[in-house]
Amino acid sequence: MVPGGLTHVDLGVRRDPPALADYQETWDLQRAVHARVASGEWGPRVLYVQHAPVYTAGHRTTPDQRPTDGTPVVEVDRGGLITYHGPGQLVGYPIVGLPDRVGPLAYVRRLEEAIIRTLRGYGIEAGRVEGRTGVWLEADPAALRPERKIAAIGVRVSRRTTLHGFALNVAASSLGPFSSIVPCGIADAGVTCVEAEIGRAPSLAEVMDALVPRLDELLAWEPFEQTGWAHGAPGGRPGAPVAAGG
């Protein structure tokens, strides 16, 4: 914990092997924590978890984006469409109060930035695609690899306090189930993970530890510069930082 800052709560990520948390139980915990943070009883905190296999669908998910194998889907009240959570994926749920000057989109940009900076420590240059939330890797035409998402983000803000969060694909085991859905409603791009990009899978605990200081920095609400490449953003080009205060 940082004095006056975030409390980081590990829900079994450090276990060997990491625990597989039930999604509904974790969602119930999120809501209980949210009530205390929103009321001012508790300070802001981030919950880290690895889920047992589950598909979750945001309110804009359409029938054609759902699993083709009959797998059950949990309906959730976050933004975004359908995604998968399961082994090999680090999920983080920041439950934080937003300052008046920071709206939901600016908050999402901060989550993206924390992940982009974390991935750079593994030699992965990630960025953003205009109109698509999350963290992406550029297309590699020589290797016949399309733009691909490495981290999904879906949030909800209630009482100026956030719910839900991000899912970062770490191990190759996190990718298989995506073939049964149209992840995040995007059919013209791929999905990837840290292991697929660098040839090894760091532990979820290692990635969590690398991410913690980035979230501490970005969720302190100080002005920051967006890094990484940006496709389609006004004035954006690969590697061009964009000033961002919100």
Active site residues: 184
Helix, strand, coil percentages in the chain from 3-state DSSP, rounded to 5? 30, 30, 40
How far apart are the C-alpha atoms of 229 and 212, rounded to whole Å? 22
DSSP state letters, 50-103: -BPSEEEE-TT--GGGS-SS---EEE-SSSS-EEEE-TTEEEEEEE-BPPTT--
Let me know the angle formed at the C-alpha of 211 by 35 and 155, rounded to the nearest 5 degrees. Answer: 40
CA–CA dist 202, 199 (Å, integer) = 10
- Strand 242-244 relative to strand 224-226: parallel, antiparallel, unpaired? antiparallel
Question: Would you tell me how many other CB atoms lie within 10 Å of the CB of residue 29?
Answer: 17
Do residues 97 and 161 touch, judged by C-beta distance below 8 A?
yes
Q: Are strands 190-191 and 148-158 parallel, antiparallel or unpaired?
A: parallel
Neighbouring residues of 4: CB distance < 8 A, sequence distance ≥ 6: 43
